[in-house]
Structures are given as structure tokens and as C-alpha cells.
Structure 1
């Protein structure tokens, strides 16, 4: 089986990656790191660079977890893309990072994380960034 990790080069993405690698170790499963930029965007800060991808793979290797990184572009709905890939790889678990948002922000903008939690037909682990002490 495989664990699907939603990754952006953000603190939330890092939290998801750490949790996903830990789950991969615990379950002796490989991981797929999904970093999906919007197609047609001239610059996308969500896209991990070649160097960042190499570092993601190195971190998984150090942890003893087999990993691949997928960077398919999406045009319409990231949530649908995410769930389609989970189905395609028969993910045993989906790991996503959550960011804090106001109630109004959630209502107006919606939330890919919320939709993944509600629409996925498999377990979803949603992690937050650790508070610095």
C-alpha cells in the first residue's frame, strides 16, 4: 500500500511531510508526495523546485521510506485531482497539512483540506504546524 501526502513548500506542507514519512515508517509503506501546481500559472510558489524535490526524496530515503514525487498540474479542482490520485495509487492513507483560518475565511474561500476530509473514501490524517515554544 501507499501513503499519499499533500505537499506545498510551506510550514503546513512540511508538517504533512513529516507526519507522512513517520506513517510510512510505522506501516512499512511507500509514500507518494503530491505537489500540484495550477496549470498555466506564470509563477507558482506552490511548485517545489528541482532542488526541493531532491531534498524531499533524500529525507524519505534517510528515514528508510521509498518515495516518489508527483507534480501534475491541475486546471479546475485540486480536491478532485487529489482524490483521483489517491484512487489511482490505492492510497491506504492521505496526509494533509492544515492552516489556521478564520470562520469567515473558511466560509468565503472554502477549503481544499475540508473538501478532502469530507469527500475522501479512505482515512485522512490532517496535521497542524507545531506551535513554537
Structure 2
């Protein structure tokens, strides 16, 4: 089994990584991190820089957790890629970060997170970054 985390280099992504790392250590399972830019985009802020990934690898090593990072680009919905990867990897849990939303934003959640929560066939751990 594996702990799977959908990751973006954002406060929400950092919260998801921290929770996933804790969960992987608790379960004595490896951690699989998906940081997938949309295919065809000339520049993507979704892609974590190599030095940022090195820092994540170091955190995982310090926690005694094996970390695999995948940065393959995707077409279509990221939620579909994440759920397919969960099936392929035999993920025991999927960890995602959630953004804080206004009441109107909550009405129109329609986001990747919602698609993952509605369509996953395994436990989901959804976390928010600390409130500033």
C-alpha cells in the first residue's frame, strides 16, 4: 500500500504534503507525490522547482519515509489522473489540500477537490493550511 498526495507548491500543497508525510510514517508506507502540470501549457506555476522537490525529499528522508515524485504532464482533469494513479499504486489513502472559500465559493466548489471527494473509492484526507 502507498499514501498518495496531490501536490502543488502552494500553502495548501504544503499542508497536504505534511499530512501525507505524517500518515505515511504512521502507516509505515511509502509516499507517492503527484505534481502534474497541464500538458501544453508553456509555463506552469503548478510545477515544483527541482530545489523545492529536493527539500521535500529531505523532509521525507528525515521522517524515514520513502518518497517517489511524479511530474508527468496531464491533459483533461487532474482528478482523473490522481484517481487513476491511486488505483495503479494501490493507494491506501489519498491526501489533498483544500483552499479556504467564501460562502459563495463553497456554493460553486466544482473544483478538483470536489471531484476527488465524490469519485474516490478509498479514504481521502483533506487538509487546509494553518489560518494566517
Q: How does the TM-score come out when normalised to structure 1?
A: 0.94
What does residue range 98-109 of structure 1 map to in structure 2 within 5 Å?
Answer: 98-108=98-108
Shift, 1:72, TM fit? 1.5
The Cα RMSD (Å) is: 1.3
Match for residue 66 of structure 1? 66
More off after superposition, 116-125 vs 46-55: 46-55
Match for residue 42 of structure 2? 42
Match for residue 10 of structure 2? 10
What does residue range 1-133 of structure 1 map to in structure 2 within 5 Å?
Answer: 1-108=1-108, 110-132=110-132
Separation in 1, partners of 2:69, 2:82: 13
Gaps of 5+ in 1: none
Distance 1:124-1:44 versus aligned 2 partners, 3 A rule = same
Q: How many residues were matched structurally? A: 132
Gaps of 5+ in 2: none
Separation in 1, partners of 2:40, 2:107: 27
Separation in 2, partners of 1:81, 1:104: 28
Deviations 1:45-73, CA, capped at 9 Å, x for gaps: 01011111111111100111000101111
Deviations 1:26-83, CA, capped at 9 Å, x for gaps: 1100000110100111110010111111111111001110001011111111110110
Separation in 2, partners of 1:112, 1:38: 13
Q: How does the TM-score come out when normalised to structure 2?
A: 0.94
- Secondary structure of the corresponding residue to residue 114 of structure 1: helix
Separation in 2, partners of 1:106, 1:77: 20
